[in-house]
Amino acid sequence: MKLLLVRHAKAEEHDFSRWPDDSQRPLSQRGIEQFQRSAKRLGKLLEPDVVLVSPFVRAVHTAKILHKTAGWPEAEHVDAVARGEFAGLVNEHLGRGTGTLVLVGHEPSISSYLSQLVSRSLGATIRVRPGSAALLELESPASGELQWLAPTQIFK
């Protein structure tokens, strides 16, 4: 199975007075514009079967851009993605025979899971920036081969 990990696009800065509930913090205008370009390219690279997204506003908006711009399936809101509980979701979709699964989530869970899959024995950490995507070929929920890691800037 292919797994695409997407960190939501660049969001507005933390501001408790504007968003006392951080789950409501939206994408910034710059983040939207950058990710629209990314989504066009991603749409040419992949045709996912399933898109799962954190219910946080910034992740949902990122997934909506992928749906609208890349023509990908509408995302299903899954609390486990917000919590970074990816292994169970991946295992479920491996069992279903899903061809390509996309998870749109947050830091630090996106980087942590990617690091775990790719460099488990090395203990290295791979940092995924806002709007970036990483494609893996998975054998199990705990083992994968990195196909590519693309920061937002590469899609310009």
Label residue 71 left, alpha or beta by phi (over 0 means left) and psi (-120 to 50 means alpha).
left
pTM of the predicted structure, to 2 decimals: 0.95
Burial-class residue 145 by CB neighbours within 10 Å (0-12, 13-18, 19+): exposed
Residue 85 lies in a domain: yes
In a domain, 155, yes or no: no
Whether residue 150 is contained in a domain is answered as: no
Tens-of-pLDDT digits for all 156 residues of the chain?
Answer: 999 999 999 999 999 999 999 999 999 999 999 999 999 999 999 999 999 999 999 999 999 999 999 999 999 999 999 999 999 999 999 999 999 999 999 999 999 999 888 876 566 778 899 999 999 999 888 888 899 998 877 766
Residue 105 domain boundaries? 2-12+29-133
DSSP H or E stretch at residue 29: helix 29-45
The total number of structural domains that make up the chain? 1
